[in-house]
């Protein structure tokens, strides 16, 4: 089990390179998540503002309840869809971050 200095040095360099590739994919993935979250926040703000304007313009309580119900339903559906998208983005982030280390795992035995 004695390894030469060159073998240990090569393994260390490979580990460092894998770490840097993993960090790069983490950075890229977090950037994609931040962009997606920003777009979702902007979209929900605009939809909420539009719903509030429609609610303020409602002539009857029935119309107001209908507007509120439609907004609540669409906001919930949008939230569920965005949550599923975020879950997929985080899963992809984890897969991409682990990928550089996959090649090293079988040789570690």
pLDDT tens-digit map of 13-63: 877 777 777 888 888 999 999 999 999 999 999 999 999 999 999 999 999
Residue-wise pLDDT tens digits, 41-54: 999 999 999 999 99
Cβ count within 10 A of residue 102: 10
Task: Give per-residue burial for 31-66: e unless 16+ CB within 10 Å, then b.
Answer: eebeeeeeebeeeeeeeeeebeebeeeeeeeeeeee
Q: Whole-model pTM?
A: 0.74
């Amino acid at each position: 089990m004695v390894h030469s200095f060159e073998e240990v040095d090569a393994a260390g360099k490979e580990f460092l390179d894998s770490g840097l590739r993993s960090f790069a994919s983490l950075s890229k993935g977090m950037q994609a998540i931040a962009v997606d979250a920003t777009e979702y926040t902007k979209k929900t703000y605009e939809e909420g503002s539009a719903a509030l304007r429609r609610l303020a313009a409602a002539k009857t309580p029935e119309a107001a309840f209908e507007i509120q119900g439609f907004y609540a339903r669409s906001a919930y559906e949008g939230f569920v869809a965005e949550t599923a998208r975020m879950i997929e983005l985080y899963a992809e982030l984890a897969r991409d971050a682990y990928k550089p280390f996959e090649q090293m795992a079988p040789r570690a035995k």
